[in-house]
Amino acid sequence: MKLKSINVFEHGRLLIGEQGFKQNHWDAFVKLNTVHNNEYFDVLHNGLRFKQYVGVIQVDGLLVNIHPKADKDDSNDKWKDVLLQMLKACGKIKAETAGNANLKKQHINLLEVYFEYFLKELDQLIHSGLVKKYRKETSNVKALKGKLDFAGNIRQNLIHKERFYTTHQIYDANHKLHQVLSHALEIVGQFTRAIRLNDKCKRTQLAFPEVDSIKPSLQLLESIKINRMTAPYERALELAKLIILNYSPDINHGQQKMIALLFDMNLLWEEYVLKSLKKYSINHPEEDWYITGQEPKTFYSSQRRIRPDIVLRKGGNTIIIDTKWKRPTNKVASIEDLRQMYVYARFWNTNKVVLLYPGDHFDSGYKPYPNQNDHEVEFHQCKIAMVNVLSNSRLSEKLAEDIIELI
């Protein structure tokens, strides 16, 4: 079946009948949304309204690309490639996988970018030699080895006296780590439509050892630990988990299979800003910036903690940045955000907190919260700032520098 691709944007709508979006697609999307606590979309009676999640969803011959868009008034073309660029900058995709050739495509199939990344990792593991492990197996053998299962031997070999029913150790590649990678490889084979990538997937499957087929649970995936011997598997296992956990077989009464690879733009924007600032501090050691993310403090009890997105320190000064992937209405922050920033200012004992949004350069200047207590000498001050994410349709290389100048 030929794969049809359509493009939508975060916070936009997609109605049944538009761009080949049909009732059966809507049914599958709604079930996916229900499984994930209605986080991904608002369900309309004849369509969907997307939230802050962006990425790609493939189901029943339809590929839906959900692109980021910081503001509804921005042009669509402006933001189409931003997701892939941010994933690359945050280290979630290798640079060579998400190269310039991919970024110039009009319709980027993010699934295939990740599938190619996963296949490359597997090929490297196969080429360097796969790890073998000891495992226990209980079966009939022709020579006595291991531990004889007396009850099983009587049951299985009442006639065949020459055989032994034993529990013994085998040293091979058929272990849980490879079984998980094999399952992810099967999923890639189901959803890959591009001829070149499909051919690469089949060649990898042929080169990969035969292992027991499993349907790994979340508990199993979390139980697999990387050690010194399996260290080269770390990235491949991470990608396998991503593919498996986003795969929804038989989501619509056994009729359709769906895979959804979605990212929360609020979290991605926060991570991108943090990585940019940390990179800036490394490249400019003379400025003596110390930068952390999600630094916790107890708010009410050990179960109630607060974590600002980014904390910057220089000398004896502390600055708090809270990132927001949206545009403030009339460049005015919401009362909820201002309250949150006041709490950060009090708990981190700083007089500078910043609400940082994407957009054309804007600096409101620091404005004080009213001083209600006589013993407070300094006012806590909050600034609303906007920074350019893009430069000529590419991520701005001056983002961190611009933020440092703003604060």
- To the nearest 10 degrees (0 to 180), the angle between helices 110-128 and 176-191 is 140
Mean pLDDT of the chain: 86
DSSP three-state, residue 310:
strand
Other beta carbons within 10 Å of 344: 22
CA dist 293 → 28, 100, 216, 271, 386 (Å): 37, 30, 32, 8, 20
pLDDT in tens, 246-274: 997 655 445 568 899 999 999 999 999 99
Q: Exposure of 379 by Cβ count < 10 A (0-12 exposed, 13-18 middle, 19+ buried)?
A: middle
Pairing of strands 352-358, 53-59: unpaired
Mean predicted confidence (pLDDT) in 306-314? 95
Name the class of domain 284-406.
Answer: alpha beta
**3 state SS for 205-241:** HHHCCCCCCCCCCHHHHHHCCCCCCCHHHHHHHHHHH
Q: What does DSSP assign to residue 354?
A: E
pLDDT band of 164, cuts 50, 70, 90: confident
Helix, strand counts (H, E) of the chain: 13, 22
208: Cβ contacts below 8 Å, ≥ 6 apart: 122, 126, 178, 181, 182, 185
Q: Left if phi > 0, otherwise alpha if psi is -120 to 50, otherwise beta: which for 191? A: alpha
Convert the pLDDT of each residue in 174-230 to its tens digit.
899 999 999 999 999 989 888 889 999 999 999 999 999 998 888 889 999 999 999
Amino acid at 211: V
Q: Beta strands 304-306 and 297-301: pairing type? A: antiparallel
Q: pLDDT tens digits, residue range 96-143?
A: 554 444 444 444 488 889 999 999 999 999 999 999 887 777 777 777
Name the burial class of residue 25, with classes exposed (0-12), middle (13-18) and buried (19+) by CB atoms within 10 angstroms of its CB: buried
pLDDT tens profile 52-93: 999 999 988 899 999 888 766 666 667 777 888 899 899 888
Global pTM reads 0.83
* Closest C-alpha to 60, from 248, 283, 277, 208: 248
Question: Range(s) for CATH 3.40.1350 in the chain?
Answer: 284-406
Burial (0-12, 13-18, 19+ Cβ within 10 Å), 113 = buried
